[in-house]
Amino acid sequence: MSDLIQTPEVPGEQDPDEQGASVLDERSVLLDQVRERRQQILTTDYYKDMDIPGYIGMLVVRFRPYSASKSERHSKSLRKRVEANEPVVTDVSCQTLIDACEQIMVRKDSESDPIPIDDEVPVKFDARLAELLRMGENVQGARAVVKALFPTEQGIIAMAMEVDQWLRDVTRDTDETLLGE
């Protein structure tokens, strides 16, 4: 007699086996999407061009992600300076800009595309840039070049903060650009 009793079907309800299969299918599709996105991240060439303050768009820095180990070399000396209560904010900001800098470029105005200063060897925050811009013999070392190039220390700090923010998720700017197309 119990074979004749049927449980009424509730609309929208799935058999537990079907429900489990549905969740597995959805998870598999999501994992495929994550794998595809990971591959896009690994193969995209991430960079950010930023105007150096005060140069009305004529001087541009191209930044790229860099290994944090690059900055580790400088951290020991900066740590000692912090312990000695010396000011280091500007130097730390300079170091961020130096480590992330791929090259310094020039352009006619803020509307045109930047072009490398040298096609063969990228010019960075270094002695070559100091020489090209005639900064003087007193300007030696990458930090000194950054400090001589920027009109204010606040400009250095602000740009370093912007670069740091971008480095936290380099995919964001690229994704927003793609969405705008």
- Nearest of 53, 174, 51, 176 to residue 104 by alpha carbon: 51
As a whole number of angstroms, the distance between CA 37 and CA 40 comes to 5
Give the pLDDT confidence of 32-56 residue by residue, as tens digits.
Answer: 888 888 887 777 778 999 999 999 9
- Copy the structure tokens of residue 44: 């995209």
pLDDT band with cut points at 50, 70 and 90 for residue 179: very low
Specify the DSSP class assigned to residue 140.
-
Record the pTM: 0.72
- Decide if pLDDT at 99 tops 80: yes
**What pLDDT does residue 75 have?**
75
Calpha distance 171→142 (Å, rounded)? 28
Domain ranges within the chain, ordered by starting residue: 15-44, 48-170
Q: How far is CA 9 from CA 15, 21, 140, in A?
A: 10, 19, 82
With residue 49 as reference, give the H or E element that holds it: strand 48-51
